[in-house]
């Protein structure tokens, strides 16, 4: 037996030729000279087997994954080591190199292949929607019988952009398509209804208020009879702000805080905490802003009465106080300053 290619007569033949000739021709791996990857230029999603997958992956990672996926290693090799490299990226072509080392029939061999990875830019359906200004919902931020404050506008903007960034990982339509400043408030146009609902709850959690949703039929698909709806989500912030004064259930109270569920207030007569659910908002009467709090001086103090100067008229006034309120002023001495507010002609300590 001798090798038909080199005439060698020593050793066994592999596939009809000697080991030396076999290894010379042998390839550790196969890979096409060119690999095409369809990628969305906006979100880097990759089109693969009829689906858009893996968005937000950086370009070099897309190239490495494409190379990895295209390599077919021969099953007879052992201990293979494969190194991927990108020589340079020219336009949409990544000139890449795949190097491999492996053992075959006890011999170490290596192989180098140059591969072009061609990135074909094609916007994915979600990014196409975004670019065309598509939106499923509008959040209308308003305030009840007043203008939105600068701080409220700023908070809402921050909540929207922060949350959209995190929602986008799972919801590719979590984007702000348009923002309209109007005399009566601000409108946020949001790509997906799902994200818009979550955003309105996140704003409510911070700024309080009442949410109302109204779907509107935009168009109807004649063949299926299915309608395309857009949902307007109105979020009306309360007329009062934190530390303003309100009346609820005949109690005069100061708003302390609120979250997405309820308003926490302190009864000015008893110093007791009360919680009011947002669904009862319409039963709340707004009395005064916290800016109307005044300072005055304690003239005398007993367990049931506090004598102070009316900060407007400088008259001496007796205020009836209960045990709770008295405890609040336990450490106050005569001539010390306290905060008061006048509501319907009556002074309350705050």
| Residues in contact with Zn ion by the rule CB under 5 A | 3, 5-6, 8, 18, 21, 40, 42-43, 45, 124, 127
Name the phi and psi angles at 307, rounded to 5. Answer: -105, 125
Specify whether the CB–CB gap between 29 and 71 falls below 8 A. Answer: yes
Token duo for residue 318? 């007796």
Closest CB 17 distance from Zn ion, rounded Å? 5
Give the whole-angstrom CA distance, residue 341 versus residue 350: 7
Token duo for residue 102? 């492996």
Closest CB 218 distance from Zn ion, rounded Å? 24
DSSP state letters, 24-58: HH--SEE--SEEEEEE-TTT--EEETTEEE-TT--
If the CB atoms of residues 131 and 166 are measured against Zn ion, the closer one turns out to be 131
If the CB atoms of residues 6 and 83 are measured against Zn ion, the closer one turns out to be 6
Give the whole-angstrom CA distance, residue 256 versus residue 129: 43
Q: Is 116 helix (H, G, I), strand (E, B) or coil?
A: strand
Neighbours of 277 (CB within 10 A): 9
If the CB atoms of residues 45 and 193 are measured against Zn ion, the closer one turns out to be 45
Closest CB 127 distance from Zn ion, rounded Å? 3
∠ CA 28-31-36 to the nearest 5 degrees? 165
If the CB atoms of residues 61 and 87 are measured against Zn ion, the closer one turns out to be 61
- The overall longest dimension of the chain from CA atoms, in Å, is 126
Residues belonging to the chain: 350
Closest CB 117 distance from Zn ion, rounded Å? 19
Give the whole-angstrom CA distance, residue 302 versus residue 199: 51
Closest CB 35 distance from Zn ion, rounded Å? 20
Closest CB 5 distance from Zn ion, rounded Å? 4
If the CB atoms of residues 27 and 42 are measured against Zn ion, the closer one turns out to be 42
∠ CA 9-105-96 to the nearest 5 degrees? 115
Closest CB 280 distance from Zn ion, rounded Å? 45
If the CB atoms of residues 17 and 186 are measured against Zn ion, the closer one turns out to be 17
Measured CA to CA in angstroms, residue 229 lies from 129, 138, 144, 171 at distances of 16, 12, 27, 19
Give the whole-angstrom CA distance, residue 265 versus residue 284: 12
Neighbours of 212 (CB within 10 A): 11
Closest CB 27 distance from Zn ion, rounded Å? 17
Closest CB 186 distance from Zn ion, rounded Å? 27
∠ CA 184-190-196 to the nearest 5 degrees? 90
Partner residues linked to 266 by β-bridges? 254, 273
If the CB atoms of residues 42 and 262 are measured against Zn ion, the closer one turns out to be 42
Neighbours of 306 (CB within 10 A): 22
């Amino acid at each position: 037996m001798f090798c038909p290619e080199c005439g060698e007569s020593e050793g066994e033949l592999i596939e009809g030729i000697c080991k030396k000739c076999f290894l010379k021709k042998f390839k550790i791996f196969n890979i096409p000279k060119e690999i095409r990857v369809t990628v969305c230029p906006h979100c880097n999603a990759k089109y693969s087997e009829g689906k858009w997958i893996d968005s937000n992956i950086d370009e070099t990672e897309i190239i490495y994954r494409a190379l990895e996926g295209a390599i077919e290693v021969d099953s007879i090799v052992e201990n293979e080591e494969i190194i991927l490299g990108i020589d340079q990226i020219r336009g949409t072509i990544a000139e890449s190199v795949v190097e491999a080392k492996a053992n075959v029939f006890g011999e170490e061999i290596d192989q180098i292949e140059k591969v072009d990875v061609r990135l074909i830019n094609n916007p994915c359906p979600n990014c196409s929607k975004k670019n065309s200004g598509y939106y499923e919902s509008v959040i209308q931020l308003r305030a009840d019988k007043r203008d939105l404050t600068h701080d409220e506008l700023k908070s809402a903007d921050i909540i929207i952009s922060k949350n959209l960034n995190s929602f986008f990982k799972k919801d590719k339509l979590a984007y702000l398509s348009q923002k309209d400043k109007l005399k009566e408030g601000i409108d946020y146009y949001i790509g997906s209804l799902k994200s818009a609902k979550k955003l309105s709850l996140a704003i409510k959690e911070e700024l309080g208020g009442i949410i109302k949703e109204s779907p509107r039929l935009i168009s109807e698909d004649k063949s299926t009879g299915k309608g395309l709806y857009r949902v307007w989500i109105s979020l009306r912030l309360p007329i009062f702000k934190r530390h303003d004064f309100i009346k609820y259930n005949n109690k005069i109270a100061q708003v302390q805080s609120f979250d997405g569920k309820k308003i926490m207030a302190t009864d000015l007569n008893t110093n007791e905490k009360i919680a009011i659910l947002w669904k009862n908002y319409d039963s709340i009467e707004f009395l005064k802003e916290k800016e109307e709090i005044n300072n005055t001086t304690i003239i005398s103090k007993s367990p049931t009465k506090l004598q102070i100067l009316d900060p407007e008229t400088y008259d001496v006034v007796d205020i009836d106080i209960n045990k709770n309120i008295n405890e609040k002023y336990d450490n106050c001495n005569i001539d010390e300053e306290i905060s008061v507010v006048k509501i319907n002609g009556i002074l309350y300590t705050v």
